[in-house]
Amino acid sequence: MAIFLIVLGGRASLLGAFVAMALHLLYRKGWKPFLKVFAALMAIALFFLMAHYLFHFHDAYLSKMLDRTLLASSLESATSGRTDVWSMLAENLHNHWILGTGPQSYFFYPGRGSMIIHAHNFILQFLGEWGVMGTALFVILLGYGGVNGLKKLRAKSRQGAVPRLAAGLGIAALTVTGLFGGTYFFAQSSFFLAIFYAIWVSSSDREVNSCGIESKMKDDDAQ
């Protein structure tokens, strides 16, 4: 999933991929290797920034990324216009904060650009569609699932740790990307999220097998 997000190339997808990789490194290796990799990435970023200024190195993609991040002149520029997208949602939520304006309502907001079909932030998307009540329930559900899956992952004796970890990292990558994009909006990414969440909160193979064996033994004893 991280490789897939990197291939997409957007800043949000890159951030999501790097967060997932950082979490994996922290989980597997601890803080010291994580800090070394982080320092290496910062050195690479500094190198490209110096090359951009001192050696007039102008790669189209890198220059665009620098202009939108380290060299951005305003928050509007750094977010590629997302502040206007978010402000429009707040304006249309006036007097609708409790229950929101309904499913897919962002598409029908007046003043929406033809290419803007969602809020580019999954929390704000749910806030617009379902209001404070629906968003609170959504965040509580995600938080409960996150904590539940983390407890199962940290249980060292349980099987299925690798697929559970992979699912958790996929959730982390897509969720971070969803703070600036539509991973919780589009069907393609939501399909993968549903699979990841199912694996993340599911019982391990060992639990399922042990329950089956125990139940079979009880049935035999009863007979």
- Residue identified by tokens 């897509």 is 174
Q: In this structure, what token pair is assigned to residue 96?
A: 């609708």
Tell me the pLDDT tens digit for each residue of 19-70: 888 888 888 888 888 888 888 877 877 776 677 666 665 656 566 666 666 5
Distance of alpha carbon 73 from alpha carbon 114, whole angstroms: 26
Residue 156 burial by Cβ neighbours in a 10 Å radius (0-12, 13-18, 19+):
exposed
Q: Is 161 helix (H, G, I), strand (E, B) or coil?
A: helix
Does pLDDT of 208 surpass 60?
Answer: no
Question: What's the chain's Rg over C-alpha atoms?
Answer: 22
Dihedral Cα 166, 169, 170, 171, nearest 10 deg:
130
Give me the percent of the chain exceeding a pLDDT of 70: 71
Tell me the pLDDT tens digit for each residue of 98-121: 999 998 888 888 878 777 889 999
Tell me the pLDDT tens digit for each residue of 131-157: 999 999 999 999 999 999 988 888 765
- With contact defined as beta carbons under 8 Å apart, do 2 and 169 qualify? yes
- With contact defined as beta carbons under 8 Å apart, do 129 and 106 qualify? yes
Distance of alpha carbon 17 from alpha carbon 11, whole angstroms: 10
Distance of alpha carbon 212 from alpha carbon 204, whole angstroms: 13
DSSP element (H, E) containing 202: none
